Amino acid sequence: MKKRGRGIATIMFGFGYGEGFPDHSIASAEIEEEGKILIRTAAADVGQGILTTISQISAEVLKVKPEAIQIIPGDTHLTKNSGSSSATRQTFFTGNAVKEASEGLLSNIYHYASIEFRSNHVELGIKGGYIFRKDNPNNQLSYWELAERVKARGDNLKAESSFFPHTDKPDPETGQGEKLYVAYTFVTQIIDLEVNTDTGIVEVLKVYTAADIGKAINPKNVEGQIEGGTVQGIGMALMEEQIIKEGITLNPDLTGYLIPTSMDTPHFITRLIENEDSEGPYGAKGIGEPATIATAPAIANAIYDAIGVRIYDLPITPEKILKALKEKVKFTSEGWLGL
Amino acid sequence: MLKSYVGKNVCKVDAQDKVTGQALYPDDIYFEDMLYLKIKRATHPHAYLRRIDTGKAEKLTGVVKIITAADIPQVKNFGLIIKDQPVLVGVGQKMRYMGDALAIVIAESKEVASQAVKLIEVEVEELEVISDPLRAMEKDAPLIHQDSNVLATHYLKKGDIKKGFTQADIIAENEYRTSTLDHVPLQVEAGVGIYDKKSGVIKLWVATQWLHDTQADIAQSLGLSKEKIRIIQPVIGGAFGKKEDISVHLHLALAAMETKRPVKLTYSREESMIAQSKRHPFIIRMKTGVTNKGYLTACQVEVIGDTGAYASSGPAVVHKGMYHCTGPYNVDNVSGVAYTVYTNNTYCGAMRGFGTTQMAFAYESQMDILAHQLGINPVQFRLQNAYDIGSSTPNSQRLTHSVGVKETIKGAAVMAAWKEGSP
């Protein structure tokens, strides 16, 4: 028989290394060859899309198309430390560093253009990589022309910035501290699923996710993170386990270690809560890790709702479900329930 | 002001290269005259290496060189937090899990390298294998490293836990367990290395989640300045925490220096699963108190995190999990202890959620159990306990802004049309 159930889980995640660890990110922005602006960062794009995020932020600040933003791919000898792509920190840390570096570059564009145009900053306008006097928009200079003139003055049109927020080391006896993490992301998931009581197989049907992420720099990427994280969470909840007996892994391959496939992927309904109230760029918070955390408990709770048995050890395999159902029947028939 | 690009679904900058196959992942990188590496791994999860004989393997046609610990006495241990992991286990030293490296085979082809690995003869003195962290914590358990098997103990104390349970009308106390997980990134550990004789710089094309930290760890292990280690980030095929630790880097660097030729090392999936980091399996004992009206009063937690044979990020992972033990709910009285424990299992490190993923399974199961016992709708139960601006976390961090947790609960409930009275 197939039985339906629904479960909910709400989670928090303090992101950044926190705990007083010197967590920072350095980035620079400079006018490159014709039509390009170069961003230097060591932030690793592991597929989450940080390089896209960076190009959007820099394009926003400098009022050019994202295609104009060129990013030096990570290279220890061409970039400075941007910290790791972990701890859900890159959008917040490198995003802020890139935003500030881009703002620094923009300030210098204004500064040098005001010399070229013999004007005040307020009299200058900026559009699509050009700077001009508002009273005579036809007299304009491209960023790249301006860069040439700045070079002729023996200077460079570039800016470097960093983001280095403070956190506190927790007291070793109590774990207490004023500010352990830079900020928290919150996620709630409601999951609908079906348990086959003959086979013990669970099919996850629908996943409703509401995530407090401050601001989505790229909503599609955020949804992608949530969907990918949830599928990874389904694996943790229902099937994944590296079985190590006496130090020996018994299933070191994808025949013995199952992960979800597209056939296990549920229908997603996602809402992004965007209060733009964090210290991240444009109010953004991180979503990388929080995207996976609520799934396993929401599934465990939904299974309880469906069949009235609670599993306390992951993964909740068909074998565990069938065993638990058997025991439940035994208890019920012997009248142990309701005592 | 309306924004032009922020908040817009701009196409990913790397999408075209990836879908057209132009993106160069580390294993796609090729040089003429390139050599291939294969690692001889531990033959027992916990044993002293008494003898290693590479004679037969070296005689195989196509084998260029086999490096053992005896060839690199100057090389130091590595590790993200504690430098406890050997580059190669030497004679008289201990192998602590099946992923420990005993020798680097350098050959003209992958096939020859694989064959040669099988010809390396090893003699070991077997020790008790500790696969269960509870056994590792026992007083008579053999030590896996020099000091205690309990690598780190962290504490959490907020309010008055006794008072908290006195105030409670209902208490739920349960033990939860999570499993050892692999990150299963599509791209396994792989890389290419080249040694530039003139500059003395070792160039490595290896995916890493933290370029400059990996560079520093390689440099300290080899006794070189950071400038001599140049890492160029190839396209990364997924990481999820698994590419924070050193994997192929040091073996590539040593082989490149030794042969002065380009070298490549790519793990098999099996090797990746056995040798490279895992998600910590947690044992979580949690006791949660609540009043009849459904307000949380106390949360007590004990966490045992099996970090396997080496520390990696373990000491940070396990206690971060504990620090999140209440979830996003107001609980005035909290007490916890977290043990990070060595075993002879594959070492565990960072993985998406960093300990808090395991902890959420416990605290959100507890919330569900208590909601059912109280007869309160689980949505309502969460809403009435959830953080607001001004709430304080288990670490007593006061939340001053960006606390949208209640909006996420309401938002999800509205989308799912969660009705009063439904579970």
Instruction: Go through the domains of chain A in sequence order and give each one's CATH number.
Output: 2-14+179-333 (3.30.365.10), 24-163 (3.30.365.10)
pLDDT in tens, A126-183: 999 999 999 999 999 999 999 999 999 999 999 999 999 999 999 999 999 999 999 9
β-sheet bridge partners, residue B206: B191
The model carries a pTM of: 0.97
Specify the pLDDT at position B421. 44
Tokens of A137: 């928009």
Q: Are B402 and A42 inside 8 Å of each other by CB?
A: no
For the complex shown, is ipTM > 0.95?
yes
Q: Which residue in A74, A178, A208 is closest to B211 by CB distance?
A: A74
Q: How many domains does chain B have?
A: 1
Output helix, strand, coil percentages for chain A, rounded to the nearest 5.
35, 25, 40
CB-CB contact of A303 with A5 (8 Å): yes
Nearest to B299 by CA among B329, B272, B270: B329
Tokens of B413: 């409930």
Its domain, for residue B327, covers: 134-182+279-415
Top residue of B351, B405, B419, B420 to mutate, by most chain A CBs within 10 Å, is B405
The answer to whether B210 contacts chain A (CB < 8 Å) is yes
CB-CB contact of A295 with A234 (8 Å): yes
Active-site positions of A read 289
Contacts with A, B 175-194, CB within 8 Å: 175-182, 184
Specify the pLDDT at position A336. 45
Does pLDDT of A337 surpass 60? no
Is residue B117 included in any domain, yes or no?
A: no
CB-CB contact of B85 with B79 (8 Å): yes
Is residue B296 included in any domain, yes or no?
A: yes
CA distances from A276 to A186, A217, B186, B402, B403 (A): 14, 11, 34, 8, 11
Helix or strand holding residue B182 (H, E): none
Is residue B341 included in any domain, yes or no?
A: yes
What's the pLDDT band for A331 if we cut at 50, 70, 90? low
β-sheet bridge partners, residue A273: A212
Output helix, strand, coil percentages for chain B, rounded to the nearest 5.
30, 25, 45
Vertex B357 angle, CA B300 and A186, to 5°: 90
pLDDT in tens, A29-56: 999 988 999 999 999 999 999 999 999 9
Specify the pLDDT at position A34. 86
Is residue B46 included in any domain, yes or no?
A: no
With beta carbons under 8 A apart, name residues in chain B contacting A244.
131, 180, 345-346
Q: Which residue in B328, B345, B350 is closest to A247 by CB distance?
A: B345
Rounded to the nearest 10 degrees, what angle do helices B405-415 and B378-385 cross at?
160
Is residue B175 included in any domain, yes or no?
A: yes
Q: Are B356 and A11 inside 8 Å of each other by CB?
A: yes
Specify the pLDDT at position A338. 38
Q: How far apart are CA B307 and CA B280, in angstroms?
A: 6
Specify the pLDDT at position A333. 56
Q: What is the mean pLDDT of each run of 10 residues along chain B (423 residues)?
A: 93 96 96 97 98 98 98 98 98 98 98 98 98 98 98 98 98 98 97 97 97 98 98 96 98 98 98 98 98 98 98 98 98 98 98 98 98 97 98 98 98 86 46
Contacts with A, B 245-284, CB within 8 Å: 269-270, 273-274, 278-279
Rounded to the nearest 10 degrees, what angle do helices B356-374 and B378-385 cross at?
120
Q: How far is A194 from chain B (nearest CA, A)?
A: 15
Q: How far is B253 from chain A (nearest CA, A)?
A: 15
Q: Are A79 and B211 inside 8 Å of each other by CB?
A: yes
Q: Are A52 and B12 inside 8 Å of each other by CB?
A: yes
Mean pLDDT of chain A: 95
In sequence order, what E strands does A214-299 have?
244-245, 248-249, 267-273
Q: Which residue in A11, A63, A189 is closest to B327 by CB distance?
A: A11
CATH code (residue B150): 3.30.365.10
The answer to whether B12 contacts chain A (CB < 8 Å) is yes
Q: Are B13 and A170 inside 8 Å of each other by CB?
A: no
